[in-house]
Structure 1
Amino acid sequence: MLVYEYLPNRSLDLFIFDTPEKRVLLEWKKRLLIVQGIVQGLLYLHKHSRLHIIHRDLKASNILLDHNMNPKISDFGIAKIFISNDTEDNTNTVVGTYGYMAPEYAYEGLFSSKSDVFSFGVLLLEIISGKRNSIIRQNGCSLNLLGYAWHLWKEGKWIDLVDTSLVIENCTSELSKCINIALLCVQENAADRPTMWDVSTMISTEGASLPEPKQPAYYNGRVAKSLDVGLELHSINEVTITAQEGR
């Protein structure tokens, strides 16, 4: 039997993806507090909990909000628990949600705390932009949200990524920093991604000098080539999928 705390504001995806009227209720300061709460939740799972836990399905619909809009990470049905300090494993059964899966997990079944970091980076870009990680078409190009964010970042036009419902006066430096952090989290190589401890430090430190991110994973928006299950990354990310693959 599962016993849940009653969370009247339901899940984050209903606010950032549902309607412009709901998105406008989440001003930037509220979104930043939600982001900081998610960071602290993941940091607890990865570092401070007695058992090290990798969530493996972090996404907007699994972030529940209480009456004060405080975030709660939910749905640990496919989480992996590690009793020792060894927090890396592999599996023949890939479970999770396309669009949030780290490439090493989707391709090879290899997962670690950096898999959750990747998912967090995707989620952070969604919170900032108000867009799902789906195909975005612009100027004849088709990119997913990661590729779109990277394209704007490299051109110095990152402000175009920000949700148009947000009033961004006096918070452009925070927005730029969060986009930078998100792009660091979704880098192709897991070793290049920060830990959640690093993310927590970067977000909480004002005026911190951040590394320049490398090109994100799934730049062309597709994972079906490797998974061989006929699915693409531009699914709407509402369903958790289990895909079995021989190794």
Structure 2
Amino acid sequence: MFYTATYIEPETHSLAASLGVSYLLTKPAEPQVILDTIRAALDLPIETLAPPPPEQFEQEHQRLLLHKLSQKVDELEAFNAGLATINAELEERIAARTAELAEANQRLRDLNAVKDNLLAITSHDLRSPLGAIQNMAELLLDDETLNDDNRRLVTSMAGSASRLIAMVSTMLDLSKLEAGKVQLEPIELRASAVTHQVLDSLLPSAKAKHIDLLLEVLPKEPTICADWVKLAQILSNLLS
């Protein structure tokens, strides 16, 4: 027996014949035709497979459909309940993580505030004595009676003080850069003037290391627009 959903009867009959099918049913098929074909295939008497009354058949059909529909509704409700539980758990986790991140961010802000305050205090407390040491060392270097050994020691002292002052300035600049508080004051200047100032500050340490610092300036040097202090810091970092 062959039951097909195709509606093209010639092709169906050809396929059934090639497969050796004796009984062929094609859609749409009436219930009575289906029962008669089954009776013939099973060689059963007609009363054995008598079709139910149409009303009973329709009621049973509707009952089965309602049962299947009820099962699907129950499955959908169970799925929605499980999904709601998962969503609630996810919301709780997200809320917990959000609270943890907010607390961590607050701790970071507090630590940054402590760091900025410490840097401000440190820079103020270090700049004054370091500047005094550097000034005194430069005054001593102007003393012509200073012998070579003492001059070398004073030169080293001046260079060390200069480097420490530069380090303090760099730390402050990094702190301001992280906080977004760096302000530039661009002016028209000549790069050679800034470079000359930087070389003068590095000269004592360079002499102590027997290093010659030379500055060559172009005959027609153009002016540039830059922040004098920041440019001097950059050159000092590159040369020191």
* Structure number with bigger Rg: 2
Q: Which has the higher strand share?
A: 1
TM-score normalised over the length of structure 1: 0.24
Q: Which is helix-richer, 1 or 2?
A: 2
